[in-house]
Amino acid sequence: MAHLESHASGRAVRQLRSLLRGLPGRNSLEFGEPIPCRPDSAGIRPESRNFGKTRLRPFRLQRQRPRDVYQVNMSETRSLRKQSIPSLLEKLEQNGQRIIAPQPAGPSGTPWFTDLDRERHIDLEQMTAVSPKSGLFPVVEEILRFRKDGKQVVIEGDKVKVQPTVLFGLRPCDARGLRILESIFQEGEPDVFLRERRAATTVVAFSCTAADPDCFCTSVGGGPGDTEGSDLLLSAIDDDHFLVEIVTPKGKELVELGAGLFEPAKESEQTKVLAAVPVRFPIADVLTKLPALFNLESFWQEQSLACLGCSTCAFVCPICSCFDLEDEADLKCGSRLRCWDSCGQRLFTLHASGHNPRSVQSQRWRQRVMHKFSYLPERGRKARGSAPAEGSTSLLGCVGCGRCSRSCPVDMNLIERLTAIAESDL
């Protein structure tokens, strides 16, 4: 353990020793290596939470309390009966719209955002385990093809082909995440693929009437009824009706396509009931203290002790945007693919020389946190040419959906990590 003393705090070292005690053949641990979360764990790998049939656990939105009541500006609102939703979706399909919505997938029935099936079994009662960002930023997409023509290489298929699409059944945090994702890809040289896809997409979000302990949208500038990033926002008024807020011209066009289904909202329907999501930590303190923590290796070592580097958090996140480019080719032709990747994986920064500037997991965890809560806000500030107000959350790389905490196989809760940053004694 001597090689860890210079990198980790005394408390972290004592924790390492207690966890390693009694494990056969393991009396030391490499710096940054994953360790068991509990002293009674078997072996060196952390225990996984038991979510039953699925590790990516959603939560049911109707079970949690309390709730808050909000008044709505009625100038751009309509009313929609819940039983009219299938008819609305049918009209949109007849108009040539591709519809992506949360639907049960696999034997566990966990809702995923997928193309609408014939049965239209949309699940609006659960928070999906995975975000809807693949609707704009596919897991794998072909960005061009190439072929050999004599001594020349001909590039083909570099034009973006998109179908008018409706992302249906998002939560406000997801819609806000899409806006941030779009801003990331439009910085510098705009990404034409995401830009064209977003231009052809209408976002229909649903307010949250409940939240679980992993939700923290209000801590990062959002809210359960936030309209940012949405074209339409639907909020439950009662068991039979939604209040429809028209946020953008795209939303208004969708309402016009569903003519006969939307009705003028009555004055008695101007109150919507939303989940009460408490502020979990002071975000202003996080933003202020992060830069000074960068070189404190012991802090990041302790924060990342349990991390496996599996990148589940990145793949369920609505904002994470790391990708890899791969060419698949033979001697005559080939294609270039863009695939999701994660800066939390060792190979992401591995150089051809063998050098890796982020060789251990603590450095990769630091990169994840710093990118979301320091680098991205700073880049946004420079792009705008002005300093944001103290504690500003408009440029954060996190919307507080809580998916990373729910899906982590070793219970690394982001709220706890950010609280530790806010409470750190520099």
Transcribe 191-253 into DSSP letters: -HHHHHHHHTEEEEEE--S---TT--GGGGT--TT--TT-SEEEEE-SSSEEEEEE-SHHHHH
Instruction: Look up residue 287 and give its two tokens.
Output: 């933003």
Instruction: Select the more confidently predicted residue: 414 or 276.
Output: 414
CA torsion angle 179 187 300 323 (round to 10): 80
Mean of pLDDT values over 380-402: 70
Report yes or no: 424 and 285 within 8 Å, Cβ to Cβ.
Answer: no
Distance CA 109, CA 103 (A): 8
Q: What is the DSSP letter of 419?
A: H
Handedness of CA 393, 306, 215, 80 (dihedral sign): positive
Coil, helix or strand at residue 94: helix
pLDDT at 124 over 50: yes
**pLDDT at residue 19, rounded to an integer:** 42
**pLDDT at residue 379, rounded to an integer:** 82
Q: Residues 14-39: pLDDT tens digits?
A: 444 444 343 333 333 443 444 333 33
The reported pTM is: 0.80
Distance CA 335, CA 37 (A): 43
In the chain, what percentage of residues exceed pLDDT 70?
Answer: 78
**pLDDT at residue 394, rounded to an integer:** 61
